[in-house]
Amino acid sequence: ELEEGIEQGQFKVYFQPVVDAMTGKIASAESLIRWFYPEKGFISPGVFIPALEESGHISELDLYVLDSVNEFQKKRYQSDKITVPVSTNLSWMDFYDETIMNWLEKKCADASMPSGLCRMEITETSYAAIEADRNATLEALREAGILLLLDDFGSGYSSLNVLKDIDIDVLKIDMRFLSKGSSEERGEKILEAVIKMAKSLDMLVIAEGVEEEKQVKMLKRLGCDYIQGYYFAKPMPKKDYVKLLQKSR
Ligand code: C2E
Ligand code: MG
Ligand code: MG
C-alpha cells in the first residue's frame, strides 16, 4: 500500500525545530515522516519504518521525503524566505539503492541553493550495516557541503568505532538514554564527557528528546550547542513550521 499511499498524499513530511541552546532561536529542523492511513488513522513511523525496511521498500519512501524536503527548501530559498538547514533520516538500505545514490550524487552537484540547507542523518546501527566502500558516498556528501549527523548516539553498539572511522559534523545525543530512575549524577557526567569529546573532534552537538526545563539548564551548563525536543516544539506540519520560522526571526 506504500505506492498508493504516496500517490494519494497519505504520507506527510513533518518538521521538528532544533533550537540554538543559547538563544532559543530555531537553528535547523529535522524532517519526520507521518502516515495518515485512511480509516485506521495515524500510524507511527516506529511501526511502519521497520516494516518497510524488512520488506525492502524503505528507499521509496525516503526518496519521497528527500524530494519533498529539497523542493521545500529550494522554494523558500529562491523566494528569499527564512531558510534554515533541514535534515533527513537515511536508512542503511538507501546506500544500496541506486535511485537514492543517484539522487545524492545529483544533489552534490546541485548549485540552485546552498548545499548546507540539506543535511543527512544516519544512525550508528545503520552505519555499521554499510560496508566500508560506502564511506566514499558519505565523504562525497561532506565534500559537497552536505552535513552529516550521527543520530541516536549512545544507543547502539559501535559508537566509538563509528566516530573513529568517519568524519561526522554533528552528534545527536538522545536524552532518552538517561532513562528515568537512573542516576542523574552519573548521566550528567557521561553527557559532559561526550560533549567534550565531540568538541575535541570538531563536532557540534544536538541533544534530542529534551522534554524538561531541568534538562535544558543542564545542557546549557555543559555547553551543548543545540536542543531538539517536546520542551521547545513537537514535530509539526509544514504550515505550522513555516509560521513558527517566520515568527522566530
Ligand atoms: P529519530 O530520527 O531519532 O527521530 C526522533 C524521534 O523522537 C521522532 O520520533 C520524534 O518525534 C521523537 N521526539 C522528538 N522530541 C521528543 C521528545 O522530547 N520526547 C520524546 N519522547 N520523543 C521525541 P518519530 O517521528 O516517531 O520517528 C521515529 C524514528 O523513525 C526516527 O527516529 C527515525 O529513525 C525514523 N524516521 C522518521 N522519519 C523517517 C524517514 O523519513 N526516513 C527514515 N528512514 N526513517 C525515519
Ligand atoms: Mg533522526
Ligand atoms: Mg534520534
How do residues 209-242 score in pLDDT, each as one tens digit?
Answer: 999 999 999 999 999 999 999 999 999 999 999 9
Interval 76-85 mean pLDDT: 97
Interval 135-155 mean pLDDT: 90
200: how many CB neighbours lie within 10 A of its CB?
8
Q: Check residues 97 and 185 and name the one with the higher pLDDT.
A: 97
CB 115 within 8 A of CB 144: yes
DSSP state of 94: G
Taking 70 as the threshold, does the pLDDT of residue 61 lie above it?
yes
Interval 20-36 mean pLDDT: 97
Say yes or no: CB of residue 152 within 6 Å of ligand 1.
yes
What is the pLDDT, as a whole number, of residue 154?
Answer: 80
Taking 90 as the threshold, does the pLDDT of residue 132 lie above it?
no
Say yes or no: CB of residue 62 within 6 Å of ligand 1.
yes
What is the pLDDT, as a whole number, of residue 180?
Answer: 65
Sequential DSSP letters for 92-143 = GGGGG-HHHHHHHHHHHH--SS-GGGEEEEEEHHHHHHS-GGGHHHHHHHHH
Q: Which of 12, 14, 32, 216 has most ligand 1 atoms within 8 Å of CB, for mutation?
A: 32
Written as nine digits, the cell of 155 is 544507543
Gap from CA of 122 to ligand 2 centroid (Å): 7
Say yes or no: CB of residue 209 within 6 Å of ligand 1.
yes
Gap from CA of 112 to ligand 3 centroid (Å): 29
CB 195 within 8 A of CB 222: yes
Written as nine digits, the cell of 238 is 509544514
Closest ligand 1 atom to 121 CA: 2
Interval 21-43 mean pLDDT: 94
Taking 70 as the threshold, does the pLDDT of residue 40 lie above it?
yes
Interval 119-123 mean pLDDT: 95
Nearest CA to ligand 1 atom 21: 209
How do residues 155-196 score in pLDDT, each as one tens digit?
Answer: 766 667 788 888 899 999 999 877 666 677 888 999 999 999
163: how many CB neighbours lie within 10 A of its CB?
18
Average pLDDT taken over every residue of the chain: 92
What is the pLDDT, as a whole number, of residue 155?
Answer: 76
What is the pLDDT, as a whole number, of residue 157?
Answer: 66
Interval 199-216 mean pLDDT: 96
Gap from CA of 173 to ligand 2 centroid (Å): 10
Say yes or no: CB of residue 32 within 6 Å of ligand 1.
yes
Gap from CA of 234 to ligand 2 centroid (Å): 13
Gap from CA of 110 to ligand 3 centroid (Å): 27
Torsion angle of the four alpha carbons 217, 219, 221, 225, in this order, in degrees rounded to the nearest 10: -120
Say yes or no: CB of residue 91 within 6 Å of ligand 1.
yes
What is the pLDDT, as a whole number, of residue 161?
Answer: 77
